[in-house]
């Protein structure tokens, strides 16, 4: 699974880029970067336990927005305290929650 996402990189377009496409000023900063290969299986674990994301957020004490970002994989890191709390409430191991998919 080789997913990519867009990342904003600040740089100025070259004169050739500006001449070739006037939108180059806007497009110059957007590049494809590889997304990590760690898959968060929070949605699967929640479905197996018939639990909502809101219910888990309340039990763990994590803001719903942050838990939602974790669920979609839109995070750079997860604190061990968070991982510990999630595993405790979901009665699972870290490997059940996070999977490496190359």
Q: What is the CATH number of domain 38-100?
A: 1.10.260.40
Strand pairing category for 98-100 and 38-40: antiparallel
CATH 1.10.260.40 maps onto the chain at 38-100
pLDDT tens digits, one per residue of 61-81: 999 999 999 998 888 889 999
Helix, strand, coil % over all residues of the chain, rounded to 5 = 50, 15, 35
CB 102 within 8 A of CB 38: no
Question: Which has the minimum average pLDDT: 6-10, 39-43, 50-54, 97-101?
Answer: 6-10
Q: Is the pLDDT of residue 1 over 50?
A: no
Q: Mean pLDDT score of the chain, rounded to an integer? A: 80
């Amino acid at each position: 699974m080789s997913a990519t996402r867009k990342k904003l990189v600040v740089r100025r377009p070259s004169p050739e880029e500006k001449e070739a496409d006037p939108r180059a000023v806007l497009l110059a900063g957007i590049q494809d970067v590889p997304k990590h290969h760690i898959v968060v299986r929070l949605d699967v674990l929640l479905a197996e336990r018939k639990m909502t994301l809101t219910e888990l957020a309340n039990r763990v004490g994590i803001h719903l927005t942050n838990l939602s970002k974790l669920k979609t994989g839109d995070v750079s890191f997860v604190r061990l305290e968070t991982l510990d709390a999630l595993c405790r409430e979901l009665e699972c191991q870290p490997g059940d929650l996070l999977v490496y998919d190359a």
